[in-house]
Amino acid sequence: MGHKYPIGHVPHNRGLRHEAKLRGDTRYFTGEPCKNKHIEQRLVSSGGCMECARLQTAKNRANETTQKRALRLQKSVDRAAQWRIANPDHENTKIVKRRWASEHPEQKNADTAKRRAAKLQRTPLWLTLTHHKQIDRFYWEAAEVSKVVGEFYHVDHIVPLQGKTVSGLHVPWNLQILPAKENLSKGNNHG
């Protein structure tokens, strides 16, 4: 039986900024709170936490004038048009999506699980943005633990989404990180 890593407990020998920079990553994770007490991924470029960056962007956008907003949106449209001109083969979305998925396995896994859970109608509508971030964090941490340990780890539903007698929800408190071997061998034993 392998080790279980609850949310927020990624081994501390990973996620250092300089290691992430050497790997070419844009983000890293220390498991330590920032100056504003957020335990979030950090940007390699600045060392700042993602939540602080999100809050600052929201604050900036709330204070921008209509004219400044229109200018920002037009710049975005112009950048997208320039990118399409510079990348004429961008239409081949299957290759682009496959490459993105291989470069972002944690987000791909989180997105896949969200879609599956929504399809099964096991994701409550009352989940907050914080709950969704906590769910995403599980998938990110499972990917990080997999890299550190050298074997695959899965995000497991403690109470399965499709049990025989009881079904769980796709919520943060029903998730745990398990070695893939253990998760695949346990099957649907809660049902």
In the structure, what pLDDT confidence band is assigned to residue 1 with cuts at 50, 70 and 90? very low
**Which residues fall within 8 angstroms of residue 174, CB to CB, at 6 or more apart?**
157, 158, 159, 168
Question: What pLDDT is recorded for position 9?
Answer: 44
pLDDT of residue 42 exceeding 70:
yes
Question: What pLDDT is recorded for position 173?
Answer: 92
C-alpha distances (whole Å) from 138 to each of 132, 148, 157 are: 10, 15, 11
What is the C-alpha to C-alpha distance for residues 36 and 96, in angstroms, rounded to an integer? 37
* Number of C-beta neighbours around residue 11 at 10 A: 13
In the structure, what pLDDT confidence band is assigned to residue 10 with cuts at 50, 70 and 90? very low
pLDDT of residue 2 exceeding 60:
no
Q: What is the pLDDT of residues 78-132, one digit of tens each?
A: 888 888 788 777 666 667 778 888 898 888 888 888 777 765 678 888 988 898 8
Helices (H) and strands (E) in the chain, counts: 7, 4
Helix axes of 129-149 and 105-119: crossing angle, nearest 10 degrees: 130
Q: What is the pLDDT of residues 54-85, one digit of tens each?
A: 888 888 888 888 888 888 888 888 888 888 78
Q: What percent of the chain has pLDDT over 90?
A: 4
Contact assessment for residue 108 and residue 155, using Cβ atoms and an 8 Å cutoff: no
pLDDT of residue 152 exceeding 70:
yes
In the structure, what pLDDT confidence band is assigned to residue 14 with cuts at 50, 70 and 90? very low
Question: What pLDDT is recorded for position 114?
Answer: 79
C-alpha distances (whole Å) from 80 to each of 61, 74, 94, 104, 157 are: 20, 10, 19, 22, 39
Q: What is the mean pLDDT of residues 23-43?
A: 85
Does the reported pTM lie above 0.85? no
